[in-house]
Amino acid sequence: MRRTTIYFILVILFALINFYFRPVSGNPLVTKDYQNSPSYVNDLYYSEEYFKKKLISEKYYYLYEQVLEDVKDGKNVNTITCKEEGCSNAFAAVLEAISLDHPEFFSYQTAWWRDYKSSVEVHYSCMSSWKYYLGTKRIERELDIVKRETKNMSDKEKILYVYDYVASHNYDRLFTYSSSNQSAYSFFTKGSSVCAGFAKASQLIFQNIGIKSYLVHGYEHMWNYVEYEGKYYVFDATVGSSYYNKKHQNYYEGLARTTVGERIGEHKEVYPTIEEKTLKELFGM
């Protein structure tokens, strides 16, 4: 009985170290200077806050920065004083920009607000601090595995690797509209997610392995634009997750389009030009 107990404890310790506390190389873009900047959320991702600059007026930057600060501080509600009347009109764009700029910001799930003309009362739905801490540790270690496996790959091989890796996870068909499955957290820790989780996980992976990419929102969908040899292409690994066999004729359709279905992503004017030739064609698949 004593040996069994010791063995059980050792197994638990090994799992904790391997999944949460094993030393990792980390994201090289996340420097000490960046860690001390207002843009820093965690060590998973470096954000240039591109969409903050493209989607919202500079006069509303303080709303964006306050939301980031509130969630990092674990607030459930905060009243933000408006510097101009009707600032709540900018809130949808602010939350959209944060979602696109910060795929690592998985502690934040949803927000809603009340407009009081001279202020905005914002309510946040966030995960607990301990869950967020362990989730960050877990994702760091999953990313470290991907980095080691792709270290000597070409960019083409990396893109295909990420597609296969992401598509191998389960699409969460039961809770499509749940805030809990809209992030990279559900993807990396539960092995299942919806398109938003797949796209955000892809975004984290691409940056950590040296591939430039963007997150894209469309009507009830999210995907990525990925750079290959200086040009940008659609990358939608959610499509691959719909098929359980890589040999299925439609498995790589997520690399076979310049738009998703008949839709074009929102804010198309702020993205680089997307090539008409698809990655599937380019890669000769």
Interval 246-284: pLDDT, tens? 778 889 999 998 888 767 788 989 999 999 999 999 998
Residue 20 host element (H or E): none
Greater confidence, 40 or 263? Answer: 40
Q: Say if residue 211 is in the same domain as residue 271.
A: yes
Q: What percent of the chain has pLDDT over 70?
A: 89
Spatial CA neighbour of 236 closest among 221, 247, 249, 220: 221
Domain range for 55 is: 32-126
Residue 88 has pLDDT above 80, yes or no: yes
Q: Are residues 154 and 101 in the same domain?
A: no
Q: pLDDT, tens digit, for every residue of 180-219?
A: 677 899 899 888 788 999 999 999 999 999 999 999 998 8
Closest among 78, 114, 111, 79 to 94, alpha carbons compared: 111
Q: How does the average pLDDT of the chain come out, rounded?
A: 88
For the segment 105-118, the average pLDDT, to the nearest whole number, is: 85
pLDDT at 7 over 70: no
Residue, of 75 and 173, whose pLDDT is higher: 75
User: Which tokens go with 153?
Assistant: 């790959």
Chosen domain end from 126, 154, 180? 126
Does 198 fall in a domain?
yes
Rg from Cα positions in the chain:
20
Question: Any idea which of 60-69, 139-148, 234-243 has the lowest mean pLDDT?
Answer: 234-243
Q: Is residue 148 part of a domain?
A: yes
**CB-based burial of residue 57 (10 Å sphere; 0-12 exposed, 13-18 middle, 19+ buried)?**
exposed
Q: What's the pTM?
A: 0.92
Tell me whether residue 197 is in a domain: yes
Domain count, the chain: 2
pLDDT at 64: 96
Residues 80 and 152 in one domain: no
